[in-house]
Amino acid sequence: MMSIFKIPEGLIDEIHSLLARFWWGSTESSRKMHWHNLDSLCLPKYLGGMGFRDLKVFNQALLAKQIWRLHTRPNTLTHAILKAKYFKNSSVLEAYHGYDLSYSWRCLWGSKSLLLEGLKWRVGNGVNIQVWKDAWLPGKPPTAIPVHDMNFDPELRVLELINEECGEWRGALLQSLFSVQDRNLILQLPISYAMPEDKLLWWPSKNGEYTVKSGYWLGRLGHVEGLLTLYLRIKGRLGR
């Protein structure tokens, strides 16, 4: 049910309360002191928590999985039905909230923000990527590039930064638009002569596919830097 509907917050709070009372040994007739609140218990163990599951965030991560499926499987019947009703002229990731929504679609739409937080573009031909609005730089969390020139073109596409004839970046244009750090990151991106289509990937996972586990920790820690730190700590790349 949690992968289809958003559970009311009051019900989730009640379940969390039951879990806390169980953990601290409280009963209906006697209440023991809670030495830690549930938020701290839901932190990863390396941050001093117990790794308990925050059901509200877990619910959102499960629903975000459905949005990911709609994005990556546009030929399904479910996608066709929802598109005809809720996002006729756009993709599911660009769908507006709208009016007269079903409860199930409201639940799915509400989880879209979590998915968007971890998406990054892999550059192909650059047609679909907006330079200043989309996340596409390598080696950085999925955030937009800061603008250094107030006369910038807000609709500039990555395609315009590429010299298609020789399959290289336009060095002079990069130098005029970006900082040294961002320019060096862009030059690390290889350009294919085949000029394939751009592709959206889920940044927190190695293969670019969304997983509920990575979505949960992204939502729980609140930022991708924290998620990256967690993964590196789990893999033993950082000291305790």
CA dist 57 and 220 (Å) reads: 6
Domain count along the chain: 3
Does 225 fall in a domain?
A: yes
How far apart are the C-alpha atoms of 209 and 119, rounded to whole Å? 10
Does the residue 206 lie in any domain?
Answer: no
Residue pair 226/145 in contact by the 8 Å Cβ criterion: no
- Which pLDDT belongs to residue 226? 52
In this structure, what token pair is assigned to residue 133? 């609005």
- 218 and 101 in a single domain? The answer is yes
**Does pLDDT of 237 surpass 50?**
no
Contact 200, 16 (CB under 8 A): no
102 in Cβ contact with 2 (< 8 Å): no
| CA nearest neighbour of 64 among 121, 11, 142, 118 | 118
Q: 130: helix, coil or strand? A: strand
Same domain, 149 and 221: no
Judgement on whether residues 124 and 192 belong to the same structural domain of the protein: yes
Task: Identify whether 4 is part of a domain.
Answer: no
How much is the mean pLDDT over the chain?
83
pLDDT at 238: 42
Q: Are residues 96 and 130 in the same domain?
A: no
* Structural domain includes residue 171: yes
Q: Give strand ranges (E) for the chain.
A: 119-122, 162-163, 168-169, 199-202
What's the maximum distance between 2 C-alpha atoms anywhere in the chain? Answer: 78
Considering the domain boundaries, does residue 91 fall inside one? yes
Give yes or no: residues 96 and 32 share one domain. Answer: no
Structural domain of residue 43, as residue ranges?
A: 9-47
Higher pLDDT, 87 or 17: 87
Q: Are residues 133 and 95 in the same domain?
A: no
Q: What confidence tens digit (pLDDT) does each residue in 97-134 have?
A: 878 888 999 999 999 999 998 999 999 999 999 998 89
Same domain? 76 vs 138: no
Strand partners, 130: 157
Q: What is the DSSP string of 164-196?
A: TTTTEE-HHHHHHHS-HHHHHHHHTS---TT-P
Same domain assignment for residues 63 and 113:
yes
From the number of C-beta atoms within 10 Å of its C-beta (0-12, 13-18, 19+), residue 177 rates as buried
If asked whether residues 141 and 191 sit together in one domain, one would say yes
Q: Do the domain assignments include residue 207?
A: no
Q: Rounded CA gap, 145 and 137, in Å?
A: 8
The rounded distance, in Å, linking the Cα atoms of 106 and 154 is 31
Cβ contact 149:131 at 8 Å:
no
Q: For residue 27, is it within any domain?
A: yes
Q: What is the pLDDT of residues 148-173, one digit of tens each?
A: 666 678 889 999 999 988 888 999 99
| Bridge partner residues of 200 (DSSP) | 121
C-beta of residue 18 within 8 angstroms of C-beta of residue 24:
no
pLDDT at 157: 93
143 lies in the same domain as 184: yes
pLDDT over threshold 70, residue 228: no
Write down the pTM of the prediction.
Answer: 0.79
Q: Bridge partners of 26?
A: none
Q: Does residue 163 sit within a domain?
A: yes
> Is 195 found in the same domain as 217?
no
The three-class DSSP label of residue 115 is helix
Q: Are residues 175 and 113 in the same domain?
A: no
